[in-house]
Amino acid sequence: MRARRYLVGLALLLSGCAGLLEGDDQTVLLISTPPGAGCDVFRDDALIASIARTPMSVQIAASPRPMTVTCAMRGYPPASVEVTSSNGIGTLGTWLVGGPVGRTIDSATLTDFRYPGTILVEIFPPPVRYGPLPLAH
């Protein structure tokens, strides 16, 4: 009975594995092609991060909500990419050690979601515009 109490206590201590292993926020590397673009990161229509030039890393809070990365560069039209989050590696530890209690804690604190570590935004040049074609005589 005493050993069981210790195991329950240990499970409760380790139940927030994703939060313990990965933390509440993460670092994401923003890259653009071509490099050198300024980028803004939005979640729920709110600006959560901004960089002056790619490539550069930003620190963002973990969330189950998708985010949008919009990059702009002189001479190019702006480009955006939507990024979704998924369960991080700590979620496996939560299920193995903390069980349903740990999963509930990680879900409540949003620490079981992670965005990709690197986000690429491709910026394409504007289409080439030619003048009107000459009329055939």
The residue with greater pLDDT, 23 or 121, is 121
Residues 6+ apart with CB under 8 A from 7: none
For the question of whether the overall pTM of this predicted structure is more than 0.75, the answer is no
Identity at 97, one-letter amino acid code: V
Domain ranges of the chain: 2-122
Q: What is the pLDDT of residues 120-131, one digit of tens each?
A: 999 999 888 777
Domain 2-122 belongs in CATH node 1.10.150 = no
